[in-house]
Amino acid sequence: MRYNIFIINNLYPVLMKNFVQPSPNLRANFPALLQFDQNQQVYLDSAATTQKPIQLIEHNYQLLSTGIANVHRSGHLLGRTTTHQFEQARSDVAHFIGAKNPASIIWTKGTTEAVNLIVASWAEHQLKKGDEIILSRSEHHANLVPWQQFSQRHQVAIKWIEIDSEGQLNLSQAATLFSEKTALLAITHVSNVLGAISPLRQLIDLASVYKTRVFIDGAQAIAHLPINVNELGCDFYAFSGHKVYGPSGIGALYVHPNRFAEMKAWQTGGEMVNQVSYQNSTFQPLPLLLEPGTPNIEGALGMACSLNYLTKLDLDALWQQEHQLFQYLVVKCASIPNLEIISALKNNIPLLSFNIKNIHSFDVANLLDQQGIYIRSGSHCAQPLLTTLGIQSCLRVSLGLYNQIEDIDRFYEALIEAIDILSED
């Protein structure tokens, strides 16, 4: 993609006049940033995972040092207390994404497991040979490979929404894909490579015409956009805790109440059963039906803690600051000769993918790493998308609430130095 550098550069004086730095108090809430500052390191890889606030760290210490019990089992005081906290965490997650019924929240290991859960628990029982699924060219492997494998097992066709020249989904082309055969639209909310925000309202409206079910991969959206699944009207929505300043190994899958009766057990064992005999078993309703075994109690409570921390912030103002910082990043990068911007520059989250002409992305990232600048390089778990874009790998800078203008300046200086070294004969 090519952008008008003159227009980009003319944004600079306007941008700097209105620039607002993140509050020092907010940065102070992230102990890792203090370590980074002391070691002259810069973290610009929040799309891969986010740093954790002190509120989560202290919560985990308090939880584990005072004792927890298993949930939905022991009737003693500690068991009852932990179960109450666990279910309150479910309610907190539901509230954060606008879900009316806490039973709609299923705990998972993360977005990847959520997609595989939908395949096994819902699609295997609801879709049939001859049905069609719509995906976009922008999908992360997590929302592509499970559907690819499912389609091959059941002779279900996959239709693809194309990308336009600005990195956005082609809505007019997407409209031609829907038909009476379309059983599911499985779409990313935000591309992890392009940063483009999918036109969900229009796509869901198209899906409703054909009674097409809708799954949304919200992994990259959850930290940067307000989410309200009730207003969206989707059937499924998934995200991971570690993408939104929470712990790793925990995620949530929203299931619309209208889909409850269609969900079948995908794993069996303890917790999800009602009655068991040597001959037969009956199962619990959702959400326990889809949560066999001892759950990740610490993870669930930790993710709710991080989300509750975020609700106390002025997220609209912080997201605006993120975008101001992103624009500053774009201006700086656009001034570098032979730097090719790949990601979307409008209707996007603060994520910039790019390449340096005739220099491999891994070499650039390696030299940045040696200077304490942490960004990502590679295919970003989106190999088909990169093939569509005509590249094999790229560099990605992704911002969080805690990043500041000094981070971009350090990155820019290190990038210039890396390019100079790699351009030497």
**Catalytically active residues, by annotation:** 381
DSSP state letter for 307: H
The token pair at 8 is 């980009």
- Cα(159)–Cα(22) distance, rounded to whole angstroms? 42
Q: H or E element: which one contains 341?
A: strand 339-341
Judging by DSSP bridges, how do beta strands 157-161 and 132-136 pair with one another? parallel
First vs last C-alpha separation in the chain: 28
Asked if 349 and 400 touch (Cβ cutoff 8 Å), the reply is no
Counting Cβ atoms within 10 Å, is residue 205 exposed (0-12), middle (13-18) or buried (19+)?
exposed
Three-state DSSP state, 235: coil
Cα torsion 305, 223, 43, 38: sign:
negative
Judging by DSSP bridges, how do beta strands 251-255 and 236-240 pair with one another? antiparallel
The residue with tokens 């066999």 is: 292
Q: What does each C-alpha distance from 321 to 15, 224, 315, 327 come to in angstroms? A: 11, 11, 10, 10
Three-state DSSP state, 254: strand
The residue with tokens 């350090």 is: 410
- Cα(368)–Cα(362) distance, rounded to whole angstroms? 10
**One-letter identity of residue 175:** A
- Cα(234)–Cα(255) distance, rounded to whole angstroms? 9
Three-state DSSP state, 108: strand
